[in-house]
Homo-oligomer: A and B are copies of this chain.
Amino acid sequence: MTIYDISEKAGVSIATVSRVLNGSKNVSEKTRSKVLDTIQQCGYTPNAFARGLGLNTMNTVGIMCADSSDPYLAKAVYHIEQKLRANGYDSLLCCTGYELEDKISSMNLLLTKKVDGIILAGSNFIYEKDTENKYIADAAAQIPVMLLNAALDVPNVYSIVSDDFTSMHDATLQMAQAGIKDILYFYNSSSYSGKKKLEGYKAAMQESGLWLPDLVQFFSGSREDIHAMQEHLKTLDERGIRFHGVIASDDILALAAVKYAKEMHYRIPEDFSVLGYNNSMLADCCDPELTSIDNKLETLCQHLITILLGVLAGNEMPKKAVFSGEIIKRGTTR
């Protein structure tokens, strides 16, 4: 079943069929409906490959994310996919892992597949050194590249970020102003947003005269590292160093801190405050419920898609958009 069959059955030329298929202006109402009818009757659907060959697009955008089973990234992928499809685009998903090499090969794969744009979901896609970000610039030379939770000033790259610095700064300040002087900071990533968060924490601590480098510790989100973190706290405790506040760059770490505090029978939040990040489902599941920073993921995604669609439509679009987060106060902070 091809366009020829339809054109024949409808008694028109293939060009006319193609025109009604593509909603072209210059078709009389009469022939349009005639063609539409026969298309309906025959249950014809145009061949996507031939269409792609002619139009040089198949209305597909590539989504790259390190690990779509990470709850936060999963949410991001979900929102992005939904909004793309609502606008007639399909999503080619690539879970790249965290290695640069794999990211590059995934990106090349997407370019080969001729996607219309690429979305890098997650701040782990940009690196310290500019040379390591070359793969993004290279892709952007061909098609628009969208960055979620990361920013890069390169032509044809568009960044949508939440203001992690301010969110973390304000939350830290609140905790300090509540009288907690020894606020530990646990982070699990040195990605773009990971750094912003740390900077926000550090700035607030410095303003409050509480800053000490030793307060900051890195722990990956892995099971082992989470235990390591808890051991770390316990060790401090045994040495008589008792902390009263923990800020984590991620709800998972925050939850681990809560769990530790409960094992030690600290009262939360009276004697021990914990702040998480991402306002994930974990925050609800925790007991007491976890205070966490919500960085408005859906809003970010919505905006990202809006900008991408604008770019694809040939419009001039802002290179960077920044959104505010929000502290969702629950039971682990005063």
Contacts of A235 in B (CB 8 A): none
Whether A93 lies near B95 (C-beta < 8 A) is no
Whether B113 lies near A90 (C-beta < 8 A) is yes
Contact with B along A44-61 (1 / 0, CB 8 A): 010111101100101010
Contacts of A262 in B (CB 8 A): 287
CB distance from A231 to the nearest CB of B (A): 16
Our pick among B48, B68, B90, B91 for the contact of A74 (Cβ within 8 Å) is B68
A223 and B109 alpha carbons, distance in the complex (Å): 40
A45 and B93 alpha carbons, distance in the complex (Å): 21
Contact with B along A63-102 (1 / 0, CB 8 A): 1000111010011011101100100001111110000000
CB distance from A89 to the nearest CB of B (A): 11
Contacts of A50 in B (CB 8 A): 49, 53
Decide yes or no: A114 and B48 within 8 Å by CB, A75-B69, A92-B90 being known contacts.
yes
Contacts of A241 in B (CB 8 A): none
Whether A67 lies near B56 (C-beta < 8 A) is no
CB distance from A66 to the nearest CB of B (A): 10
Count of identical protomers in the assembly: 2
Whether B284 lies near A282 (C-beta < 8 A) is no
Contacts of A81 in B (CB 8 A): 68, 93-95
Our pick among B47, B52, B223 for the contact of A284 (Cβ within 8 Å) is B223
Contacts of A112 in B (CB 8 A): 45, 48
Contacts of A47 in B (CB 8 A): 53, 114
A183: Cβ under 8 A from any B Cβ:
no
Decide yes or no: A78 and B95 within 8 Å by CB, A109-B90, A113-B48 being known contacts.
yes
A12: Cβ under 8 A from any B Cβ:
no
Contacts of A104 in B (CB 8 A): none
Contacts of A92 in B (CB 8 A): 60, 90-93
CB distance from A119 to the nearest CB of B (A): 12
Of chain B, the residue at the smallest CB distance from A113 is: B48
Contacts of A327 in B (CB 8 A): none
CB distance from A310 to the nearest CB of B (A): 23
A152 and B282 alpha carbons, distance in the complex (Å): 35
Decide yes or no: A67 and B78 within 8 Å by CB, A52-B49, A285-B282 being known contacts.
yes
Whether A69 lies near B58 (C-beta < 8 A) is no
Decide yes or no: A285 and B285 within 8 Å by CB, A56-B49, A90-B109, A93-B81 being known contacts.
yes
Of chain B, the residue at the smallest CB distance from A111 is: B45
Binding site for B on A (CB under 8 A): 45, 47-50, 52-53, 56, 58, 60, 63, 67-69, 71, 74-75, 77-79, 81-82, 85, 90-95, 106, 109, 111-114, 223, 252, 255, 259, 262, 281-282, 284-287
A-B contact pairs, 12 of them (CB 8 A): A49-B50, A49-B114, A50-B53, A60-B92, A67-B78, A69-B78, A71-B74, A81-B94, A85-B95, A90-B92, A92-B92, A255-B285
